[in-house]
């Protein structure tokens, strides 16, 4: 089975090759007849690059590949039978259009710890300014002015989306002695948490962390109207999907000092810039450049998932998805709408 892996980086190649070897050892000789021939492309899958998929049985894509109608038409025409997402979110695939034409599978969970821990790491960095302290001490500047943070203990965090990642994040926050408020369109009655409506999340939270998927409902869930309701000085964390936040409204809120800080692992227009070294290029996205320039904004390049454990789990589940399809077994991770 030939699989074209798009938007692949050195760590993807390493984890896929390692996991494939491990997988083959584990499943025994019976299944060795299934040969997974991965070919790795650095390019993202888009209308321009879809030609690369010609001659492959499946494509494997990540968060910023653009699997729209045109791309799906081309894949179907080339005889590609499966789109294997190596992530949980599938907002970048037109799943409805793919229905009954090409299979779509995903990795529903690979390490909620990776993402939740990164969210807390960003919050701690922003609050305690360890990024700035690190640069100062490297320069033998041992002054502390401008590095004052606040105790997280006793502060209220509003968590939007209480699925796998949101739950781990809430556990971490509990460990810090924080008060937790939660909002979810489908509240989980089993969780010991105070569910409130969005209005109350905005009005009562010192920190708001987004852990819901990007859907029509959640697009720009954080917009200027929501920001106006929030406590002055609120800190916003987004490790979920960029388009949950209206970035221009966020920038305005920061400029007006209504928002006390933002930790962004994702950004609405990230597809053109994240995962690339653009350090020698003139920036073209003014909103992103302005956000990065703010002293109270931290941006990471959609890296919350990036732990050894998560990469291995992504590779393992993706290989299982591909092998199940090849063997005609039920696709437990199929995405359908």
Q: What is the set of active-site residues?
A: 241, 270, 302
Which residues are 182's β-sheet partners?
159, 195
Minimum distance between the CB of residue 210 and ligand NAD, rounded to whole angstroms?
8
* Cβ neighbours of 257 (radius 10 Å): 10
Which residue among 112, 158, 242, 261 contacts ligand NAD (CB under 6 A)? 112
Asked whether 235 and 262 are in contact (CB, 8 A), the reply is yes
For residue 81, state whether it binds ligand NAD (rule: CB under 6 A): no
For residue 304, state whether it binds ligand NAD (rule: CB under 6 A): yes
Which residue among 1, 24, 34, 109 contacts ligand NAD (CB under 6 A)? 109
Asked whether 105 and 335 are in contact (CB, 8 A), the reply is yes
Sole window of 15-23, 98-106, 199-207, 298-306 interacting with ligand NAD (rule: CB under 6 A): 298-306
Which residue among 61, 84, 161, 181 contacts ligand NAD (CB under 6 A)? 161
Asked whether 2 and 57 are in contact (CB, 8 A), the reply is yes
For residue 158, state whether it binds ligand NAD (rule: CB under 6 A): no
Residue closer to ligand NAD by CB (options 103, 241) is 241
Nearest-CB residue for ligand NAD: 163
For residue 213, state whether it binds ligand NAD (rule: CB under 6 A): yes
Which residue among 22, 42, 163, 224 contacts ligand NAD (CB under 6 A)? 163
For residue 242, state whether it binds ligand NAD (rule: CB under 6 A): no
Sole window of 27-35, 123-131, 181-189, 329-337 interacting with ligand NAD (rule: CB under 6 A): 181-189
Which residue among 173, 227, 302, 315 contacts ligand NAD (CB under 6 A)? 302
Which residue among 44, 103, 106, 164 contacts ligand NAD (CB under 6 A)? 164
Kindly report the CA angle at 36 between 30 and 38, in degrees rounded to 5? Answer: 165
Residue closer to ligand NAD by CB (options 50, 310) is 310
Count of residues touching ligand NAD (by CB under 6 A): 31
For residue 86, state whether it binds ligand NAD (rule: CB under 6 A): no
Q: In what order do the strands lie in the sheet with 234-238?
A: 194-195, 179-183, 156-160, 207-210, 234-238, 259-264, 297-299
Q: Which residue has the tokens 């492959």?
A: 56
What is the C-alpha to C-alpha distance for residues 90 and 67, in angstroms, rounded to an integer?
10
For residue 184, state whether it binds ligand NAD (rule: CB under 6 A): yes
Residue closer to ligand NAD by CB (options 39, 91) is 91
Residue closer to ligand NAD by CB (options 169, 326) is 169
- Torsion (CA) 8, 10, 14, 20 in degrees, nearest 10: 10
Ordered alpha helix ranges (H), the chain: 10-27, 69-78, 95-98, 112-128, 130-138, 164-175, 198-204, 224-229, 247-255, 286-293, 308-326
Q: Which helix (H) or strand (E) holds 235?
A: strand 234-238
For residue 315, the number of C-alpha atoms closer than 13 Å in the C-beta half-sphere is 23
Which residues of the chain form contacts with ligand NAD (CB under 6 A)? 88-89, 109, 112, 115, 160-166, 183-186, 211-215, 217-218, 239-241, 265-266, 302, 304-305
């Amino acid at each position: 089975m030939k699989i074209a892996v798009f938007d692949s980086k050195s760590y993807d190649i390493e984890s896929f090759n390692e996991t494939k070897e491990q997988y083959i050892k584990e499943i025994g000789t019976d299944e060795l007849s299934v040969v997974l021939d991965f070919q790795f492309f650095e390019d993202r899958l888009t209308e321009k690059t879809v030609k690369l998929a010609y001659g492959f049985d499946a494509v494997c894509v990540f968060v910023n590949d653009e699997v729209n109608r045109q791309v799906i038409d081309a894949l179907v025409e080339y005889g590609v039978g499966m789109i294997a997402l190596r992530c949980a979110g599938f907002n970048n695939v037109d799943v409805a259009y793919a229905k009954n034409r090409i299979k779509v599978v995903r990795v529903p969970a690979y390490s909620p710890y990776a993402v939740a821990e990164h969210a807390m790491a960003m919050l701690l960095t922003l609050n305690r300014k360890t990024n700035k302290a690190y640069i100062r001490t490297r320069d033998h500047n041992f002054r502390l002015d401008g590095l004052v943070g606040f105790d997280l203990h006793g502060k209220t965090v509003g968590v939007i989306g209480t699925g796998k990642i949101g739950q781990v994040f809430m556990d971490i926050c509990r460990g810090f002695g924080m008060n937790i408020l939660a909002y979810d369109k489908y509240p989980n009655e089993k969780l010991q948490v105070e569910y409130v409506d969005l209005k109350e999340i905005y009005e009562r939270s010192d920190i708001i962390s987004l852990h819901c998927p990007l859907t029509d409902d959640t697009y720009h869930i954080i917009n200027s109207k929501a920001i106006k309701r929030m406590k002055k000085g609120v800190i916003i964390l987004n490790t979920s999907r960029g388009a949950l936040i209206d970035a221009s409204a966020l920038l305005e809120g920061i400029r007006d000092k209504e928002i006390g800080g933002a930790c962004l692992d994702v950004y609405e227009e990230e597809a053109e810039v994240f995962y690339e070294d653009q350090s020698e290029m003139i920036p073209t996205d003014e909103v992103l450049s302005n956000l990065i320039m703010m002293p109270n904004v931290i941006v990471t390049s959609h890296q919350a998932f990036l732990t050894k454990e998560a990469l291995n789990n992504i590779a393992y589940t993706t290989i299982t998805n591909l092998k199940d399809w090849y063997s005609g077994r039920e696709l437990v991770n199929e995405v359908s709408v």
